[in-house]
Structure 1
């Protein structure tokens, strides 16, 4: 069986998640969309063969958490430190993703997790970041110090992997859900998701 799947996420609490979806959406709606995206992500994680599935959570778990997922709290510090700490939880291959790509599939996750020694997996995001990072041999030094949340984050992270001498397996480019335009684009491309259903329900409520 493959290694560890890591999901780093915030609990979907109004006012704390997806704040860039406002004011088009209310804080409550933004949190509902975040919960739907997280649920879609965890569904894909549960459908992927793995030895362990871990949610690295900022906040408290709620009724949205399915069985079969271990929960550990995020550490403090910047995002690079939190990602490094997440990888420190793992032995053997590990793939880390966020909660912003509800369109992700178990097939994509399996591809990013099935790594041989000396390999890494990298999933670029449309905004210049990355949606997935897989390491055959988890090492926080491969993440720590990479400048996060900027248009150059993905390039800097990939360069770090290459400079470490790793063979990088490229995963498909995906679009993160950060803005209302992102939400509409992702929902249109993944109509069978909880995320798309939640967005459609909100649009329908406004039209009445």
Structure 2
């Protein structure tokens, strides 16, 4: 980029979308997320495609952070009375290694690009736990460490915030009512009404996610 080439973009133009090279406005958090995906010593190539991907990536990370805050660890094999302690131990160790990786990567010349990749790997596990696709095979101690570390790295160290959180405060009350009505319809086996609620919300950009702990919602 260079002023003589006419392709410089100010932060204000990026936040408002008031530039010929931009297809839309991008929030400050989206821009921050986009920058953090590249090591600070590397050249950063601003593209609409990259910024739009960052917008989705930011929301995915914030959703995982919100989900993690509401989860509780599953019982251990001993508490469940099962013999799958070896697989439980391996998963617990895998999660602890990812937590350690975050610290190592940040100590490696502030390698935020690798930190982001590890956070996304943890996000995949968190979503799998939430959706019941994978058992949360971690000890309560590891779970609490994960919860604190994920929060510390996303919100404190990287400074990423859920911009929709403030706007969603009142919206969440409304959505909980809608989710409750949909649940009542499903209990009455009125699946047609249940599907209409889900489909119409999806058209409005809101996605319902059914999991073992109930139904949650987020932007699609």
TM-score (norm 1): 0.25
Q: Which has the larger radius of gyration?
A: 2
If asked which structure has higher relative contact order (CA below 8 Å, sep 6+), I would say: 1
The structure richer in helix per residue is 2
The structure richer in strand per residue is 1
